[in-house]
Structure 1
């Protein structure tokens, strides 16, 4: 189980991440782009993934991580059941969402260089 405190702590640990309201939800943004929202009533997070990453994370358990059932889901918006998800899986998914939305230069500060063979 992941709490809002855990979500907030991890989301705000990323460079230039901010917390802002988004309608009746809480949003986490990088450079004004939302990478995650949290719905306190439903105890659910929604994160932005690429289509490939969405498929990979959903493959873990479609009752815990799954695309929104509309056009937003086809664009990578993915729901996470916070009371069911394990911390490690959640942390990986949220980190991936941050990388998806962060400007390339900012994301590269955290992400290891894929071309680095040393």
Structure 2
């Protein structure tokens, strides 16, 4: 399997052309793809498995995300973009870990 980072309009074109076999995409592109395919998994299902694709504003602003998960998510995103040739290299691990704001999130959520 090869993962490719594409914009929704490019996904639709690649699907129509038979260039891709699967996609993880949202509406309105999703509706176009299921005309000639089927849903294998959803964002809700991946979230239940511990890999959320979307966090609501409260979760994003909370200390659990800003104080712990944000750095790991940024690093994982950078690694994927590097594998796709979208970026030239990775920052030092401290750059990702330094993107956490637990103290600020705790202070804001206490108000």
TM norm. shorter chain > 0.5: no
* TM-score for the superposition, normalised by structure 1: 0.25
Report which of the two has the higher share of helix: 2
Q: TM-score, normalised by structure 2?
A: 0.26
Higher strand share: 1
